[in-house]
Amino acid sequence: MQSRYDEVYARSLAQPEQFWAEAAEAVNWTKSWNRVLDFDRAPFARWFVGAELNTCHNVLDRHVEGGRGDQIALIHDSPVTGNKIRKLTYREMRDLAARFAGALARHGVTRGDRVLIYMPMVPEAVIAMLGCARIGAVHSVVFGGFAAPELAARIDDATPKLIVWASCGIEVNRVIPYKPMIDEAIRLAAHKPGACLLVQRLEQRAEPVKGRDHDWDEEIARATPHECVPVAATDPLYVLYTSGTTGKPKGIVRDNGGHMVALNWSMRNVYDMRPGETFWAASDIGWVVGHSFIVYGPLSYGCTSILYEGKPVGTPDAGAYWRLIAEHGVKTMFTAPTAFRAIRREDPNATHLAKHDLSRFEVLFLAGERTDPDTLVWAQQTLQRPVYDHWWQTESGWPMGANCAGLGPLPVKPGSPTKAVPGYRIEVLGEDGKPTTPETIGPIVVKLPLPPGCLPTLWNNDEGCRRAYFEQYPGYYSTGDAGYIDRDGYLYVMSRTDDVINVAGHRLSTGAMEEVLAKHRDVAEAAVIGVADSLKGQVPLGFVVLKAGANRPHEEIVRELVQLVREQIGPVAAFKQATVVERLPKTRSGKILRGIMRKIADAVPYAAPATIDDPAILGEIATALKAIGYAGARS
C-alpha cells in the first residue's frame, strides 16, 4: 500500500479548519459549531465552538442504535484473580453507564461537577467514567497505586462532589487494600466529598464508613437510568493529573468535542482499525493511555477493547501477552517498551510464542517512553510483524509523532517514532529560539495552535498552563522533550529537558521525591535523579546529605527513606535505592547539578561547568555511585 501520509499531512497544516471539520463528520453532534477554531485567546485554542454533543452517546448509545448492541465492547481479562474473564456488550455497557449516571444524579451530581475515581482495572471503573460523561460531570481518575498524600492533593485541586473507590487492588501475589489510603487521603484533604460509592471486590472487602460510603451494587440496582446530557464541545470531559517539575500535580483538562474528533480520527488513520475489530492497549486507566485507548478511542470507533488486569510476565509467565492476543483475536496492540524488555529478559528466545495462534494479530505499537532500537528489533524479529514506536504525552492526549498505519506506513527507522502526525507541526529549536538544521539536538516544540484533542488549559489554572507550556518559546507548545529531526523528516526524541523522569512509561517528579526525603529526621539535603535502567528505562536514585550528629548506620537510614517514598508517593515511584554523600555538587549560586550526576551514573562523558562550586566533588559522587553498583548504565 502506497502511503498517503505526505498528502494528508500537508493538507492538515495548509487547511486545518477544513481538515478537522471533515474529521468531525464522523462524530454525532446535537448542535453544530459556529466556529471550527477559536484562537482569539492565543496561546489557548478552542475547537468546535458553539457545538454540543455527549461523549457517552458517541461511545456507547450510537453503536447500540446503529445495530452494534450485541457486539462485545469491553473484555475484562484478569489473570491476577484466577483468569476471570468478563465480556460486556455495547448494550450492557450503555445500560450500566445509564444506571450509574442515575446513581450520580441521586447524590446531587450534575453537569460540571467533579467525580474522583480511585479504582483498579475493573469494568466498574470504565462504567464510572462513561456514567460521568453521560451527565456532563467531569471525572478525575487517580491511579490506584498512589499513596494518600498524592490522592489528597488531587482531591483538594479537583474538589470532587463524589468519590468512587474499590475495596482493593490486586498484584501478582498480594492484595492491596484501598481503604487505608482513601480514609487517610480524605482526612488529609481540606475538601471533603459529599459521598463515596464503594465497589466491593471478592478478594478483600472494605468496612464502609457509615454515612459516607454507599455500596455500588445497591446504588446501581435502585438507580433510574439517566439519558445523555448534551454539553458544549469546549466543556471539560475529564481532568487527569500529571507530575510537574515542582512536585505539585498539574490537572490536564480534556474537552469533549476536540477529544472525540481526534481519537475517532486516530483509530482509523494512526492505528488502522475498523469497527468490530479488537484493540488492546496494555496500560492502566489511571494514565492517559487508558483514557484514550482503553476507553474513549476504541469504543468511539465501534471496536472491542480489552481491560487487562495482569502483567507482561508473572501472570503466569512470559507468554501472558501471547495468550491474550490469541484468545481474544487482537488485531492491534499498544504497550510500553518496558513490557517487551521484561518479556525478553524472562524468555529471550520467545519459547512461549509457539504455543499460541497469533494469526489475527497484525501490528504492535510502542509508546510511553523512548523505544530503544534493540527492543524494537527484537520485537519485530520475534513477532514477524510491523512494530512501530510512537510518541505523545498526557498533555496531547493522542499521538504527536507516529507511523500512521492507516495512511499507509512509512519505512521504520529504529529509535524514531517516525514523523509528525497530521495536525502537528513539530519543530526543534536552537539556542536562538528558531528552528534548527536537521540532525541538531534541541528542545522539541509544536507550532501553535495545537490540534483538537490537546489540552485546552490546566484545571482552574490558565496562567500556570501558560507558564508551563507556552511562555518559554512564544508561538509554540513546549513538550519538555529534547531531540532532533533527521534529513528525511524523521523525529528522534532523546530525553527530557527538565527533571521529570520516566519510569516504565510513567512520568514522575524527582522534586516530589526530594521533598519526601527531606522530611526524614536525619536528612539535611536531598537530590533525586533518573538513571538508566535496562528494564524500566529510568529509575530514581536518591542522594542525601545527613544532619550533623546523625550517626546511625547508613543502611538503616536508606531503608527508611525507601519506605518513606513508598508511603508518601506510592510503589509506582519505583524508588528502591539511595546513597549517603558528604555534599552535593552545586553551582556557585546554589543550583544542584543533577544533569551532571545523571551523566556520571550513566557513564556518559561530561564537562564540569565553569559555574561549579568545587570540581573535586564530582569525583566523590563517582566514588559513591560505584560503591552501589552504578559504574555506568546497568544491563
610 pLDDT exceeds 60? no
Provide the residue ranges of all domains of the chain, joining segments of one domain with +.
5-310+390-478, 503-627
634 pLDDT exceeds 90? no
The separation between the first and the last C-alpha atoms of the chain, rounded to the nearest angstrom, is 39
| 5-310+390-478: CATH class | alpha beta
Q: In this predicted structure, what is the pLDDT of residue 26?
A: 98
Across the range 59-72, mean pLDDT stands at: 98
Contact (CB, 8 A) for 312 and 350: no
Q: What is the pLDDT of residues 460-501, one digit of tens each?
A: 999 999 999 999 999 999 999 888 899 999 999 876 675 556
Across the range 572-578, mean pLDDT stands at: 83
- Alpha carbon distance 215, 21 (integer Å): 43
Q: What is the pLDDT of residues 212-234, one digit of tens each?
A: 999 999 999 999 999 999 999 99
The DSSP call for residue 179 is H
**Containing H/E element for 222?**
helix 216-222
Fold agreement between 5-310+390-478 and 503-627: no
**What's the Cα-to-Cα distance from 70 to each of 5, 63, 306, 480, rounded to whole Å?**
35, 10, 16, 44
Q: Which of 268-272, 368-372, 403-407, 541-545 has the lowest mean pLDDT?
A: 368-372
Q: In this predicted structure, what is the pLDDT of residue 309?
A: 96
611 pLDDT exceeds 60? no
Q: In this predicted structure, what is the pLDDT of residue 125?
A: 98
Q: In this predicted structure, what is the pLDDT of residue 248?
A: 67
The larger pLDDT score, comparing residue 497 to residue 277, is at 277
613 pLDDT exceeds 80? no
Q: Which CATH code of 3.30.70.600, 3.30.300.30, 3.20.20.70, 3.40.50.1820 fits the domain covering 503-627?
A: 3.30.300.30
Q: In this predicted structure, what is the pLDDT of residue 463?
A: 96
- Averaged pLDDT of the chain: 91
- Which residue, among 261, 273, 268, has the nearest Cα to 22 in the 3D structure? 261
Q: In this predicted structure, what is the pLDDT of residue 635?
A: 32
Q: In this predicted structure, what is the pLDDT of residue 616?
A: 85
Q: Which of 7-21, 27-41, 183-197, 547-561 has the lowest mean pLDDT?
A: 547-561
Q: In this predicted structure, what is the pLDDT of residue 591?
A: 65
> Helices 148-158 and 179-188 meet at what angle, rounded to 10?
50
Q: Which of 127-136, 292-301, 514-523 has the lowest mean pLDDT?
A: 514-523
**What's the Cα-to-Cα distance from 154 to each of 115, 161, 511, rounded to whole Å?**
11, 13, 17
Across the range 318-334, mean pLDDT stands at: 97
The larger pLDDT score, comparing residue 101 to residue 595, is at 101
Q: What is the pLDDT of residues 16-54, one digit of tens each?
A: 999 999 999 999 999 999 999 999 999 999 999 999 999
Across the range 119-124, mean pLDDT stands at: 97
- Alpha carbon distance 317, 310 (integer Å): 11
Helices and strands in the chain: count of H runs, count of E runs: 20, 31
Q: In what order do the strands lie in the sheet with 578-580?
A: 523-533, 537-546, 578-580
Q: pTM here?
A: 0.84
Name, of 462-466, 521-525, 601-605, the range with top average pLDDT: 462-466
